[in-house]
Structure 1
């Protein structure tokens, strides 16, 4: 009976929880000062986990893009309606992914690898890329000519 209950729970709730893992947590979205000012820094780890899951399943995002935080960092495309596919090239040499790889595009944007993966068997110069908006605020960078893709986040 317990196994059936667990399977039913996963079937009902599994999809939102899987999407929650793709979304930046509240701790990643807010600066330390913002967390303290809001009182969220006083939540227990369990409370933070619940809040992050709730936010990601509701698709909560900011209303304008880009937004400069109090600490000077920028949040790009917090409004889902402002996200469009980007076509560009990586400026210079591209040698794959190594954990926190950052690439600069010909259009000046900088994107950083946001998932843990490694692929070092690629050697290309100025490859064409497509960066597509994906579910729950994530982005997928597809590098043409190597049949490789990875989730990224915009950092500049």
Structure 2
């Protein structure tokens, strides 16, 4: 990811300040505080050398505007950033809406049980994670509400009953 950031910083610097093209190294182009504020102090010597190489290549007048290769790398960097922001590249689920859901459970409803999955009419599937139960609960096409709670917890409640079950979304 550092390399992606380096490429983006290089592209922004090369496009923003034409006077930079006359100097060769990024360290010479920026003041110490600009260098530090841009986060470039975190780069290793290898990464810094690569950044300088990219800047020198992009400053060359023979290159003209950004080549398709650079455009492709910028598009890839944007996509990686989007995935990183949503947690996809770390095996996490993408961020989910925190809006309450009102739907029905089509077919028979036989109560709550730990580990049971509830498929809603809107296609969402929720799995019960606690041991809440409703003694003798039975129904057909019952209405349900799934609402967010504190600390990323979700609660499922069935129409006609006050008991709530702690659930997590499966899909």
TM, length-normalised to structure 2: 0.45
| Larger RCO (alpha carbons 8 Å, 6+ apart) | 1
Give the number of the structure whose alpha-carbon radius of gyration is greater: 2
TM, length-normalised to structure 1: 0.49
Between Structure 1 and Structure 2, which shows a larger proportion of strand residues?
1
